[in-house]
Amino acid sequence: MKIIAVVVLLGLFNVSTLQAQIGEETVVLETGSGNIEGTLLVPETTECIPVALIIAGSGPTDRDGNNPMMKNNSLKMVAEGLSENEIATLRYDKRGIGASQAAGLKEKDLRFEDYIKDAKAWVKALKNDKRFSEVIIVGHSEGSLIGMIAANKDITKFISLSGSGLTAGDLIKQQLSAKAPMLSDQVADIVAKLENEKTVDSVPPMLFSLFRPSVQPYMISWMRYDPAKEIAKLNIPILVVQGTTDLQVDLAQAEKLAGANPKAELEIIDGMNHILKEAPSDPRENIKTYADPDLSLKEGVVDKLSSFIKN
């Protein structure tokens, strides 16, 4: 495996180092706060081919779709599946995650915009790689919002995989009201203050891990963005992919996203959960798939992505 670097510092890019041999490469985005590492997978071909930037979801989710507690390899499988269809991919550990730990800012200093800037830097590097005919963004879960905001004139298509159609504040309220309805009023009060860009000094013990003071500035920055409004700004073909057994994002959210832009196509995949694998609606059985790296992606999902990208 070859390690190559993409230098990003004060707006200057050294992208010539992204030129490398065909195969799987470890690529490094050098930033002022540390390195961000990714995997560039290029199928064997002599032709100029599309490349998809895959952006992982929230929390400690790494480039492969895994976190320290559960390994499912979902995003790695997406990359490998696209490669089989002659589509290159770059997936990366977001700053502070996995091999990009060194680029992690202190929690109190991290902002949602940092993730957007990183995605834009990767896009620029890929755009300047002569092996690739076009750059597509594929954002999974929270990565969908990051990707749609990062999409610029260099992006030809955008794909949302299990992406929320709600603002962060509404999503938090929806998910917590389902799991802990007795805390709904307190959650709503805290979210309202954060949406008004005010920090909350007194957080109930049961909600402290979610709304701890050090993470509130990040949440404020995240809550500024409405996925439906952001996707409406795109003037490129859009594919919104949603599973019917997703416990984190429901069909109504996917419909809201797709309905916000006339260029969007909605693909509903029956029996697919949040990590793009076949799963029942039963929460316990559904969650088991999150820790099964041998379980394949839901049949048909890679074919749909490939068809959208290449047509």
Are the beta carbons of 22 and 40 closer than 8 angstroms?
A: no
When divided into structural domains, the chain yields a total of 2
What is the CA angle 252-308-248, rounded to 5? 30
Pair 61, 182 in one domain: no
pLDDT score recorded for residue 22:
54
pLDDT, one tens digit for every residue, the chain (311 residues): 344 444 333 232 333 344 444 589 999 999 988 999 999 999 998 899 999 999 999 889 999 999 999 999 999 999 999 999 999 999 999 999 999 998 988 899 999 999 999 999 999 999 999 999 999 999 999 999 999 999 999 999 999 999 999 999 999 999 888 888 899 999 999 999 999 999 999 999 999 999 999 999 999 999 999 999 999 999 999 999 999 999 999 999 999 999 999 999 999 999 999 999 999 999 999 999 999 999 999 999 999 999 999 99
Q: Are residues 135 and 181 in the same domain?
A: no
Q: How far apart are CA 259 and CA 25, in angstroms?
A: 38
Rounded to whole angstroms, how far apart are CA atoms 228 and 64? 27
Query: Does 134 share its domain with 58?
Result: yes
CB atoms within 10 A of CB 238: 23
In whole angstroms, give the CA distance from residue 37 to residue 27: 6
Q: Is residue 232 a part of any domain in this protein?
A: yes
What is the chain written as a DSSP string?
-EEEEEEEETTEEE-GGG---SEEEEEEEEETTEEEEEEEEE-S-SS-EEEEEEE--STT--TTS-BTTB---HHHHHHHHHHHTT-EEEEEPPTTSGGGGGGPPPGGG--HHHHHHHHHHHHHHHHT-TTEEEEEEEEETHHHHHHHHH--TTEEEEEEES--SS-HHHHHHHHHHHH-GGGHHHHHHHHHHHHTT---S---GGGHHHH-GGGHHHHHHHTT--HHHHHHT--S-EEEEEETT-SSS-HHHHHHHHHT-TTEEEEEETTB-TTSBB--S-HHHHHHGGG-TTSPBPTTHHHHHHHHHH-
Does residue 36 fall inside a structural domain?
Answer: no
pTM: 0.92
* Domain end call among 156, 179, 210: 210
Positive or negative torsion for Cα 252, 257, 262, 266: negative
64 with 82, same domain: the answer is yes
Is 204 contained in some domain?
A: yes
Give residue 45's pLDDT: 87
Whether 298 and 186 map to the same domain: the answer is no
Q: Which domain, by its residues, includes 275?
A: 47-166+225-310
| Structural domain includes residue 240 | yes
Q: For position 110, which CATH number holds?
A: 3.40.50.1820
Q: Are residues 190 and 90 in the same domain?
A: no
Is position 293 within any domain?
A: yes
Out of 152, 180, 210, pick the residue that ends a domain: 210
